[in-house]
Amino acid sequence: MMRKLLEFWRSRPLKLTLSILLLTTSVLFTADSLDLRGDQRHGLREARKMVAEALAVQLSMLASVSDYNGIQLSISALVERNPDVLAVSLNNANDSTLAEYGDLAQLIIPSGNSTLSQMNVPIYHENQNWGHLHIAFLPVNSLNFQLRYLGFVLASCFLLYLLFLRKALVQLDPNQVVPSRINSAFNMFSEGVIILDDNLRILLINDSAAQTVGKPAEQLVGHRLEEWSWRQPEDWQPPWTTTLHSGLKLSDQTLHLQLDNGETRVLVASCVTVGNEHAGVSGILVTLNDMTAIEQKNKDLALTLRELRNYQELINTKNKELEALATQDPLTGLANRRALMSNFEEEYAKALRLPAPLSCIMLDIDHFKNINDTYGHGVGDEVICAVANTMVAECREYDTIGRYGGEEFVIVLPGLSTEEAIEVAERIRIKVSHLTKNKVVPVEKLTASFGVNTVDTSTTSVMQLIEQADEALYAAKQGGRNRVIGYGSHAKTLDLPDGQKLTEDTTEDATVRATEDITADAIKVVTEDVNLSRVIELEAIVKERSRDLEQMREYDSLTGIPRRTLFMQRIDTEVQRAERLKLNIGTMLLEIKDLNLITSTFGHTASDALVIEFVTRLQEGLRSTDMVTEILDVHSMSLVTTNEYGVLLSDLDDSAQAMPVITRLRRLLSMPFEIDNQNIYLGVNIGVSLYPQGGSNALELMESASQARAQAAMKPDKVSHSFASASLEKVSREYIILEADLYEAYEKSQFELYYQPKFDLALRRVNSMEALLRWHHPTKGLISPADFIPVAEANGLINNILDFVLDESLKQIKQWNSMGLGGLQVSINVSPVQVRDPNLVGNILAAMKKMGVPTSQIEIELTETSVFESPQRARVGLSRMRDAGLSIAMDDFGTGYTSLGQLADLPLDVVKIDHSFVIAMGTSERSRAVIESVINMAHALKLRIIAEGVETNEQLALLAALGCNEIQGYLISRPLTASDMTAFLQQAQQRRSA
């Protein structure tokens, strides 16, 4: 109440009112001093009475001596010398006229007492009425007197008010203060500029602002800015109102104004107070930037971009169609000869560069001309397509299969040796021979012949490989068809048409498989065994039964980890759970490189010890918090095959979350293993397949992970990995590049600390701020912490980053203290990984002690996840921080699983409400109720509440009404550099001291 009375006493309307009253009082006093307002009739009556009485005395004396001539002379002299006397007559008691003079017509005998213009004075002699004296005076005009008085007052007030208001209106009309030149410059601003008084009425408006609303400036002055036709929500609070009540400087507030012609303009408003704290806010400066044209251009640009994207998609589709026409065989869909040779050249160059094995198979359908002649070309095309489908089914996803010409095909097999390529060719040969039995094609008999060749030291080109494979194919046809021939030696010579020599295996029990005696000197002919197909089928059955027997044993006898059966069962369980919860899971297969070489070098005992140490280290290093799922009991790894280990990842939001696990594996495997007192560094191939991209069940996921592991084996890295799809592989490469860039960023000081202020709603000032890390990449620009912090947590660089943030924050606090900006508190974010570090608190306190900054100026911010992953350990660490004087804040409250009751068990000082609740409270009563409950509970627990992400005036007003202590968001300020934050604080300090 007292504050309002003081504001009213200091208000300009009251001052002007008092000044006008004082001027009016001065005019009235002046009129009184000039006797313009007094009773003039009374004075005139007394004066005329005295004249009449004096004349009566004089005439009575003359009448007593009967001097009538003297009486006549006295009367005439009075009339002639006194202009107020019009006529005089003297009568005796009998009303006989004794003497008279002047304008006798003016003499009117009054019926009663004398008046101001007609006086009748009795004359007594010896106490008897002798006669009477009648005098006619000039009549008194009272209206003239009043007009003179009124004219004086009006003229005096007019002159005085004119002089006063010319001075006073300088404060009311800024145009009188601003010189014409400056006023002209003011109107040259392209932005609209408006000055409001403390009642939010328009005092001054430039031409740009008037043109925005489409009215003359003279019509707008004196009206409230809210009267304009703003198209805003019903509960909208104008930004200038917020600035007037809060003193905050608001900027970039988007508004929509509807004109009289129906047009809507998009305006960006900024508001700042005019005046100082001691005299009170005297007004608001509002700038309006018309963004209508830019907004329309942005819409047009967005429409154009959408059209361009549509055109681009159409072009990409057409390009794919053209590429398919240019690279695919129209009948089979395989690569045509041109694409086949191009891919073969690439694989050949890669094999020489790594180096890595590379094999090729040339296939020719036996007696194809006879098929065409007998069954027709339609059936011939069906045969070609069936053989093509068989090759695709038996080969890997990344193998290249192409139609070389007619009924000839070439298969490029990267990473496979001659023996492995012959196995692939044999599988295809058997499947082709079964096509007729399964009635896939309508022919009686169908077989194919195969020639196999592999890159060796004598290979000089792709064409040489194909020609040698073709020679082997020719040998297969010459040897009876329906067989696989590898390029080799140790055989007797057969004549070839071009003079070259073929070698036919002289071994009595010949098979279609290449043996260890294969060299690059000649061609080895492997004859077909009559019962070969049956033998291979029986071998497959035996292997399947052996595999079933192995799966019956649940645990590996060497390492004690679960075997494949349990692993597959757990995968299926997690797939069902992931499908229900709409999550991703990942299957990882790990293979130790060159394990056979290690075994042959150090022996089986040392090799077994190495495997045990390998499994133990990985199980201890892969914690459940890294999304690694326990297969059974405490085991997080499974033995899938002899040298293949499985790891299951669950609850993945996206594919990128698998990369921290791979990074952790790299770190674990970067340390040496000890074998026979020697340190060796293991190489590991890792294949990763994610659900649902890599498969919908355990078997499909395992197969795709195995293929990915084979791809990883072709990479030169010591620890290499590969994903089962190209898109995931791209994510993996981007992650690795980001990780390398992150190390470089730390070494080259590409990090910078920004500060975002927190506004105290009670004190109306900034007392604290949050330190936010920014990475300025030299080519990619600003990279969000959400992208690189998880990488830093996985590779261990997070501790170095915290040291950087802490050092920079302490240096800046010390600088602000020296500049007289002391008392500011800076919040530092700590990741969940660092909360588990027992040395965290000691390191922070040591750095603060070294820099000489009190603990009250640092606040530690933790997320809900970091606290409740290890609540007991977190509670101990938080207590140590509190005991040392550090303030502790829980960030993003409401996004995890923390209940309000759990807050009471934690040593906290501040709770920060997540911005998602702040955004939702404007439209959701439930969110508003949640925020109110959190605020009330926090206050009951003696905790302060900070609301994050405040961007509008409505949010500020509502949070203030609910009792929120501080707010943080773009409404107050965006994150600022250290220099900009210093300027921000200095300006705030100047406003407070002004």
What are the catalytic residues? 948
Instruction: Please enumerate in sequence order all residues whose Cβ is within 8 A of that of 928, keeping only pairs 6 or more positions apart, or say none.
Output: 921, 958, 962
Asked if 32 and 144 count as a contact pair (C-beta separation under 8 A), the reply is no
From CA 444, how far away is CA 439, in angstroms rounded?
Answer: 9
Give me the amino acid identity at 163: L
Sign of the dihedral defined by the CA atoms of residues 439, 442, 443, 444, in that order? positive
- Residue among 348, 325, 321, 320 at smallest CA distance from 336: 325
Length of the chain in terms of residues written? 994
The tokens for 767 are 């007392």
CA 542 from chain centre, in angstroms, equals 61
Nearest to 556 by CA among 546, 567, 545: 567
Residue whose structure tokens are 């100082």:
276
Burial readout 201-232 (b: 16 or more C-beta within 10 A, e: otherwise): ebbbbbbbbbebbeeebeebbeeebeebeeee
Cα 98 to Cα 88: distance, rounded to the nearest angstrom = 11
Element (H, E) at 700: helix 698-713
Task: List b or e across 599-616, with b for residues whose CB sees 16 or more CB atoms inside 10 angstroms.
Answer: beebeeebbebbbeebbe
| Burial category of 5 from C-beta neighbours within 10 Å (exposed 0-12, middle 13-18, buried 19 and up) | exposed
Tokens of 378: 């339609």
What is the separation, in whole angstroms, between the first and last Cα of the chain?
25
What is the rounded (10 degree) CA torsion for 926, 927, 929, 931?
Answer: 170
Supply the DSSP string of 249-271, one letter for each residue: -EEEEEEEEE-TTS-EEEEEEEE
Token pair for residue 555? 């645990």
At which residue do the structure tokens 């890997």 appear?
396
For residue 75, count CB atoms less than 10 angstroms from its CB and return exposed for 0-12, middle for 13-18, buried for 19 or more.
buried
Q: In whole angstroms, give the CA distance from residue 596 to residue 604.
A: 10
Please name which of 668, 691, 683, 670 lies closest in space to residue 721, comparing C-alpha atoms.
683
Helices 595-602/604-621 angle, 10° precision? 130
The answer to whether residues 666 and 559 touch, using CB atoms and an 8 Å cutoff, is no
